[in-house]
């Protein structure tokens, strides 16, 4: 089957979803070298282009619009907030879907002008989309069904192929699992849209969110094939007409880190030059990286940074969602825009300089850590059901003595114990370098998934 136009929907809840799907897109380009990729995602354009190294820029179109709610975290925390997630979902449903599916019927009507459906349809209008590839956003199967009706129901096009461990409705279903059950269901547990809610009301709102989200994948969506990665669930929202293909390993899918422009020594010198520290010393470099999010907010960073007591032999890189003024000599703040201006790729180049990484156990972060063999201090992600599996991947493939759990307060305040742990895991990594299990990991998953897709297209 010849493919000329591929629509790609990538969840923009952080950047790990892009890190995971990009290898598949690069491999699809090898199989369909003249195909145009129409990418719909709110992920930073620089990060997208960094990861899609093998596709010519003239064959990539990007509609930079926010398409996913994901899970919203508590302020200044890496723990998820059911109340904030529900609040964001309600706005998402109201703006984009209620006019079409509010009465639970599929009217195939005209979306409102401020709906992303309208924006996406205009973006794709001039082209005949043969294939839609997506990693988890519920808008993708919805668009597949709408385009299929436009092209004619007798047509199979566009083929809709999802690639993920789960769908968002499953995550939402379990989004309250980390909340302790109150003594009374009438006890106030949070606030939604300015109104206090008790546990019973929160559960009711959560169940409505799950129902609405599930309907977008099933009743209102079209999914021909769902390639299910491991660490998965049997609770999938699709009908009997969806083919489920399972894979043995999800980590191979994620990496496109190659062709580094610089050496480790060059990148270390570059980071030191961005600090206000003397350049004639040897430094260990720690990075705070929390996926596509800041640390965990620019406001908190500005509050806390001046109180940090960083040892003289350490420099700390803080990855931020946007540019933040640096006010300490041994701290360097970077946003992706800052890196783009200097032609420094985050995954390929900047991580070369990092001796110890501090962050969440997110898809992108774990993949990059595994590839570069970086000793890691990680925070447990309360409310994120995949945390035990990403944690397991770190421990088994980097080595249990080279990774360590760390508490949020220790990181936020950069306490002395943070650097004590960092020295321990770094020294363990140096002494156990020959025992490292990095070579046990197969990093050819993009090709594996693409082979599955191509076999199903024929």
Band of residue 437 on the pLDDT scale cut at 50, 70, 90: very low
Higher pLDDT, 222 or 335: 222
Determine the pLDDT at residue 300.
Answer: 75
Q: Are 301 and 288 in contact (CB under 8 A)?
A: no
Q: What is the mean pLDDT of residues 61-81?
A: 83
Determine the pLDDT at residue 457.
Answer: 84
Determine the pLDDT at residue 439.
Answer: 45
Determine the pLDDT at residue 298.
Answer: 66
Band of residue 129 on the pLDDT scale cut at 50, 70, 90: very high
- Distance, in Å, from the CA atom of 308 to the CA atom of 293, rounded to the nearest integer, reads 20
**Given a cut of 70, is residue 162 above it in pLDDT?**
yes
Q: What is the mean pLDDT of residues 381-397?
A: 76
Determine the pLDDT at residue 292.
Answer: 58
Which range is least confidently modeled, 187-191, 250-254, 278-282, 415-419? 250-254
Q: What pTM value is reported for the model?
A: 0.83
User: Largest Cα–Cα distance of the chain, in whole Å?
Assistant: 70
**Given a cut of 80, is residue 203 above it in pLDDT?**
yes
**Domains in the chain, ordered, with CATH?**
5-255+445-457 (3.40.50), 264-440 (3.40.50)
Q: What is the mean pLDDT of residues 332-342?
A: 87
User: How many angstroms from the chain centroid is the CA of residue 251?
Assistant: 14
In the predicted model, what is the mean pLDDT of the chain? 85
Mode of pairing for the β-strands spanning 195-198 and 188-192: antiparallel
Band of residue 178 on the pLDDT scale cut at 50, 70, 90: low
Higher pLDDT, 335 or 137: 137
Which range is least confidently modeled, 104-108, 226-230, 273-277, 368-372? 104-108
């Amino acid at each position: 089957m010849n493919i000329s136009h591929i629509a790609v929907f990538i969840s923009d809840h952080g950047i790990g979803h892009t890190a995971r799907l990009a290898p598949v897109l690069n491999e699809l380009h090898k199989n369909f070298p003249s195909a145009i990729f129409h990418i719909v995602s709110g992920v930073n354009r620089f990060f997208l282009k960094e990861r899609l190294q093998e596709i010519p820029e003239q064959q990539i179109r990007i509609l930079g619009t926010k398409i996913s709610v994901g899970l919203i975290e508590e302020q200044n925390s890496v723990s998820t907030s059911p109340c904030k997630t529900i609040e964001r979902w309600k706005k998402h449903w109201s703006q984009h879907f209620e006019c079409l599916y509010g009465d639970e019927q599929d009217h195939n009507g005209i979306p409102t002008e401020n709906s992303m459906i309208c924006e996406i349809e205009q973006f794709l209008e001039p082209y005949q989309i043969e294939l839609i590839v997506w990693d988890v956003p519920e808008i993708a199967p919805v668009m597949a069904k709408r385009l299929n009706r436009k092209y004619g129901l007798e047509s199979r096009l566009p083929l809709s192929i999802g690639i993920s461990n789960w769908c968002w409705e499953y995550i939402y279903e379990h989004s309250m699992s980390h909340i302790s059950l109150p003594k009374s269901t009438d006890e106030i547990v949070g606030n939604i849209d300015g109104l206090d809610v008790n546990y019973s009301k929160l559960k009711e709102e959560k169940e409505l969110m799950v129902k609405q989200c599930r309907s977008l994948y099933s009743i209102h969506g079209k999914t021909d094939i769902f390639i299910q990665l491991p660490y998965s669930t049997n609770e999938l929202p699709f009908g009997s007409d969806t083919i489920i293909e399972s894979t043995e390993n999800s980590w191979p899918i994620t990496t496109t880190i190659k062709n580094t422009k610089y050496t480790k020594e060059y990148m270390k010198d570059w980071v030191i030059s961005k600090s206000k520290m003397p350049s004639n010393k040897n430094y260990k470099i720690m990075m705070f990286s929390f996926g596509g999010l800041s640390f965990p907010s620019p406001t908190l960073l500005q509050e806390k940074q001046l109180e940090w007591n960083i040892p003289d032999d350490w420099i700390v890189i803080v990855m931020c969602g946007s540019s933040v003024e640096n006010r300490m000599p041994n701290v360097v703040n970077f946003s992706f825009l800052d890196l783009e201006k200097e032609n420094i790729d985050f995954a390929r180049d900047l991580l070369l300089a990092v001796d110890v990484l501090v962050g969440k156990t997110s898809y992108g972060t774990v993949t990059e850590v595994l590839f570069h063999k970086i000793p890691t201090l990680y925070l447990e992600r309360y409310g994120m059901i995949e945390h035990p599996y990403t944690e397991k991947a770190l421990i088994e493939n980097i080595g249990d003595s080279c990774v360590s759990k760390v508490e949020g307060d220790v990181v936020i305040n950069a306490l002395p114990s943070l650097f004590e742990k960092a020295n321990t895991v770094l020294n363990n990594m140096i002494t156990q370098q020959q025992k490292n299990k990095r070579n046990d990991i197969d990093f050819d998953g993009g090709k594996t998934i693409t082979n599955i897709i191509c076999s199903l297209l024929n």
